[in-house]
Structure 1
Amino acid sequence: MGTPRAGGTRSLTAVAAAPYVLALIAFAVVVAVVSGDLPDELGTHFGLGGDVDGTTSLTAYAVGALVPLAGLGTLFAVAARRGREARSTRFTVVLGWGVAGFIGYIFTAVAIVNRGLSDGTAASFPLWQMGTAAGVGLLSALLGRLLIARVPVPEGDGMSPRDTPPYMELRAGERAVWTRTAVNEVVLTAGVALAAVGAARLGLYGWSPFVLTLPVGALLTCFGRVRVRVDARGLRVRFGVLPWPEARVPLDAGEALVREISPLGDFGGWGYRVRPARSGVVVRGGEALAVKRRSGREFSVTVDDARTGAALFNALARREKVS
């Protein structure tokens, strides 16, 4: 693989960030135009029927829109810049364009539906608005695909293995199991905090939209900690204390390797990730156990002591094949 050219990397970064810059400009222009006709408190949170169930000041709403747009733009630009495989990088850019179109439309449309109202609680945001946002997101993604096709995407080094596939020797009839736990402290802490806030709100005030932080926090807690196991049934990955969902790779699927993974560069982020020709459970960056399937696809999970796990997987697979 070649080393990325500086010019190509700059062009790629610009294309990845462009939809968020455009969304920021569009939002700022619309808010500047309609600000004189907006109520003191804007209707900014809507139920399924489109009626307002939450209001926010214009300043708070503007900050609440500009920060995520700028943050997501930075995230997608960095992910594209660090991309180490051309097809996956193009996918990241197209996804970023789609997300920018979707959320950019929603942020801007919410300001528009409050125009001319003396009371933000009278605003309405029916479901067809969400359908329109989805359509804008799709058109934006298509535009991103057209643009990225015209930009040379540099190839990086890819997810190169540390060395040749590792093996270990097992005696006839010997049973062996390898298991490790991988933790993302930031995600785990955020999950516990959100779950605690949701539980407290439920206990003190009963049902409210804030109670939704309880299941969201519980989900983050599960995905912030994964258990990895290699045994006679192959590679298994479980999330938190849950028995399901479980990712499985049988011994006859392919060969195990040790990879060095960059979450943004290789997968565009953290969590359970799917990319062209690869998927994986990415809790953090660094060492990962990967199984390269015979179909050409690859499954990876970031975990310490991946070499031992890969060596055992290969040894068990070889013994099963011989028997």
Structure 2
Amino acid sequence: MTTRIFGTVWGLIITAVLVTVPLSFQDRLPEPLATHWSDRADGSSSFTGFVLMATVPWVVTWVVMVGLAVRGTMLRRRLSRGYWWGFLVGLGLFVMGMTLSTVHANLDRPVWTEAELAGWIVLAVMLAAVGGGLAAGFLGRGEPDQSPPAGEAPPKLRLRPGQRSVWVSRVSNPWLLALTVAGGAVFVAAAGVALVGATPNVVWGPLLFASVVVLLSGLFTSAATVRVTDDGLAVGFGPFGWPVRRIRLSKIEKAWSEIRYPSQVGGWGIRGVPGMAAIMLRGGDCLVLRYRSGGQLLISVDDARRGASLINALIEERVA
């Protein structure tokens, strides 16, 4: 509850600064005003555009972060709490600092080309944002996560002689599916525009390439189907369950289930961290395999304990 209250109050404070400070000095700012510098001011924006450019991305990000906190799953793990606090505080300090420094650089300038922004101010804003974010993440991470009981035996089923069992589970991420659909829509639109030649290549070319990347990535990482049979484990990727990765039972030492979150394995999708590969589509229940070679594979999937039980029973049957 404290985290949600803080996130709401912090977001309101940053939003108020982003809106009220420029409005308070509007009569002392040029129109348009400078918003980009290299050696000197080389980019400008209208006053309204400047305020919207600073406020809208922040408000959207803030609402998403508070929504994640309200949902609660992101704040269950210590590392996730650290990320949440650090990102929200650090980003807030950054957008507030850049807005205040831009207003200061344009203050009482007759035209935007005369606005000056010292390099040390930008550096100070970045250092304050990074330092504040790191401090907030460290202080807000809370108590260490509770470790699972030591020596807990992996789950195992008892199979009758000659009995054959199959376990199938499927998991999908609606956000990644929506992103895939959006990528497909953009691809169709960009391809159509390209065919009729309504825009030059420099416009539709990068857009077409980006949409293809998003579409293909989403097709392979938005859903997964996991099947355990006498032959081993098979993981089918994407809504159509293809391509398929197959793992023989002879390669698996044992299996169990754990509660894991994207922040613990490097993010969403197909990830690799030292000693472990992960197929992470959503936080929560995960099936974990330990290979006889020493490595591990983690798959976020529903009913993982039952799948691990069947894998262990099949391994024992083969050994016997």
Aligned to 1:76: 65
Please list, as runs of the form range in 1=range in 2, the aligned pairs for 1:183-202 lying within 5 A after superposition: 184=174, 185-199=177-191
TM superposition score normalised by structure 2: 0.59
- Identify the residue that residue 212 of structure 2 maps to in structure 1: 218
1:66 alignment partner, one of 55, 61, 81: 55
Q: Which of 150, 172, 188 is equivalent to 1:182?
A: 172
> Percent of counterpart pairs with the same letter?
17
Amino acid at match of 1:291: V
The residue aligned with 1:3 is none
Cα distance in structure 1, aligned partners of 2:32 and 2:145: 49
Structure 1 residue 299 displacement after superposition: 3.5
Residues 287 and 307 in structure 2, CA contact (< 8 A), matched pair in contact too: no
Residue 155 and residue 191 in structure 1: after superposition, are their counterparts in 2 closer, same or farther (change >3 A)? same
Aligned counterpart, 1:135: 127
Provide structure 1 residue ranges, at least 5 long, that are not aligned to the other structure: 1-8, 159-163
Q: Say if 2:288 is the partner of 1:291.
A: yes
Tell me, in whole angstroms, the C-alpha distance in 1 between the residues paired with 2:191 and 2:136. Answer: 41
CA distance in 2, matches of 1:124, 1:238: 53
Q: Taking CA–CA contacts closer than 8 Å with sequence separation of 6 or more, which of the two structures ends up with the larger relative contact order?
A: 1
Q: Which residue of 2 aligns with 1:118?
A: 111
Q: Give the drift of 1:85.
A: 3.1
**What TM-score does the superposition give when structure 1 sets the normalisation length?**
0.59
Shift of 1:144: 1.2
* Residues 1:301 and 2:300 aligned together: yes
- C-alpha distance after superposition, 1:212-269 (max 9, x if no partner): 544443344323623445576767575689x99x9x9x9647524386x9999x99x9
Root-mean-square deviation (Å)? 5.6
**Structure 2 match to 1:204:** 198
**Distance of aligned partners of 1:189 and 1:175 in 2 relative to their CA distance in 1, 3 Å threshold:** same
Q: Which structure has the larger Rg?
A: 2
- Give the residue type in structure 1 aligned to 2:255: E
* Residue 62 of structure 1: how far off its partner (Å): 2.2
The alignment status of 1:13 with 2:12, answered yes or no, reads no
State the partner residue of 1:6. none
Measured in 1, the distance between the counterparts of 2:253 and 2:104 equals 54
Aligned-residue offset at 1:124 = 8.8
Check 1:178–1:98 CA distance in 2 against 1; reply closer, same or farther (3 A cut).
same
* Whole-angstrom distance in 2 between the partners of 1:146 and 1:315: 43
